[in-house]
A and B are shown apart, each in its own frame.
Chain A
Amino acid sequence: ENQDYVGFDTITQQMERKFLKRGFNFNVILVGESGMGKSTLVNSIFASHLVDSQGRRTAQEVIRKTTEISPVTQTLEENGVRVKLTIIDTPGFGDQCNNEGCWVPVIKYIKDQHAAYLERELKPQRDRVISDTRVHACLYFLNPGNRGLRPLDVEVLKRLTEVTNVIPVIAKSDSMTVDERTVFKRRIKEELAFHRIAVYPYASDEDDDEDRALNASIKELVPFAVVGSEEIIEIDGKAIRGRRHGWGVINIFDESHSDFVHLRNFLLRTHLSDLVEVTAQRHYEQFRTSQLRQIKELRAQQAAAAAAGQSGMPAPSVPLPHQPTMAQA
């Protein structure tokens, strides 16, 4: 053995072993009106039936009046690596005649997870590993029947991009011809820029040339025009995931048919850890900073009030301004 070889390059294997033992959490929220293909897409990406479509199908089912938050957790394993995957569906979002405020429960849920994490982080005696329920990615579903962003999309995207990583997708893109797809994507990109809506991925100082090239190619594709399918059909003796029409068969893995492979690789093969990291370092930190500032101001106000008023009274403990409503395990 080379005597000058120190061996610190084995840290990657050491980290990998630790990671394998610990596993990790990955939380994705789905936002879009019903019938946009949300559940089918998610089930296609993870190649298993994780979520059921929550759309209304029978006449007797009541039409939802508000946006519900519906998380489903499942542990998946691949080559010894375990992921505790939580998919949060938002049935009722954008489905009413009047959609004012339909985003409130969604934003609240995302902030609640930041708040829950902060609360555990601030505890004097805290867990070695805090279970991470923070939302790492938001798939925002655009309707290919519209010309571009609707007023609702603009309102919601502005708010969502402030609290989580947003990835816009067109799930049922098989209703668009190639030209229509190109025009729609260009229009969406223009409108996102016009409204200064910053979707993921973000540029970072740490990016090297390879990162920049990859991110540039991702930005070219956004919004991802995908087709999802849970059905396996046979073409030329091969079993593929697709959709069979009278005029042709769509293969969701075919890059000329849909951006599915690009989206799946982006989400899970190239940017998975970045999504988790950016959630912690950017969105969570922003939340934490604003919360702690508010606490500081509140404390200052109360101290001033206590000094001016009663003496000998201890300053009351200050609760977090944003109170989480769910008890996190």
Chain B
Amino acid sequence: MKFDTYEVTLEEEGTRISLTVIDTPGFGDGLDNTGCFKQLQDYIEAQFDEVLVEESRIKRNRRYRDHRIHALIYFIAPTGHSLRELDIELIRRLGEYVNILPVVGRADTLTVEELAVFKQNITRDLEYYKLPVYNFCWDDSDSEALEENREIMGLMPFSVVTCDEVLDNEYGSVRVRRYPWGTIEIDDESQCDFALLRYILLNSHIADMINFTEDVLYENYRTRKLEVGGFGEAEDEEENEGAEQEPAASKSQE
């Protein structure tokens, strides 16, 4: 399994997002795939460790770029049955390090009925195995948003179909996949959840996912790491306390 990184800056109406997408070609393709989980975990932890180091510096870099992973889109194969062992293990192991959004890939191979049953089976599996997928309702302070978030949770896993061609029709350009028996418009919400996923990821929930990563996932990691005295430094209690104090001291100076 490799990591292929793509960086792009998105700008729309004054808002700029520096987007990094990491692909993992080879995941699940080998004879023995148990090594993939550790590889992914190490990768995510490496980003956390960088932040940990930077945070604890006496002189911190104001322009420091944070590479922590805010979302993991997990593609479930459209078998129509339920989760495979690989799916269960991945979510179970990585859920505490990253926000996991399960999606049904190539969902256009399933009929409407098949997809509904598949989503139901997966949801039952997620509950039964207590799999830690991203909880849209983690912040229950806003009751209005809570209702909307519950609805979104109900649609998980999100069905996605990827764009193959862009056609021009009387309404403008349409992103489609063309088959001998018909053409599917991927942005049509009645045909798949692609538009919704895009909206969640780049619009409505971008702040939520970043906040959860920083305030909860990263903090938990940091606490675990510092309690164990990690970092490869001497496991001297005083030294660790010093490391914890330092950021606080710097903060009071700002």
A-side interface residues toward B, CB under 8 Å? 34-36, 53, 55-60, 63, 95-100, 143-146, 150-152, 155, 172, 174-175, 177-178, 243-251, 254, 256-257
Contact = CB atoms under 8 A, between A and B. Distances in A.
Interface in B88-118: 88-89, 105-106, 108-109, 111-112
A55 B105 contact: no
B129 A246 contact: no
A55 B191 CA distance: 26
Contacts of A243: 111
Contacts of A36: 79
Interface stretch (B181-189, B234-242, B246-254): B181-189
B81 A35 contact: yes
Contacts of B4: none
A286 B79 CA distance: 37
A246 B107 CA distance: 12
A152 B121 CA distance: 27
A100 B81 contact: no
Interface of B: 29-34, 77-82, 84-86, 88-89, 105-106, 108-109, 111-112, 121, 124-125, 127-129, 164, 177-185, 190-191
Contact of B128 (A57, A59, A151): A59
Contact of B121 (A57, A96, A144, A178): A57
A20 B118 CA distance: 45
B183 A59 contact: no
Nearest to B29: A150
Contact of A97 (B34, B124, B128, B181): B34
Contacts of B129: 59
Given A58-B82, A58-B121, A99 B32 contact: yes
A67 to B, nearest CB: 13
Contacts of A256: 180
B78 A175 contact: yes
Given A35-B81, A95-B84, A145-B77, A172 B31 contact: no
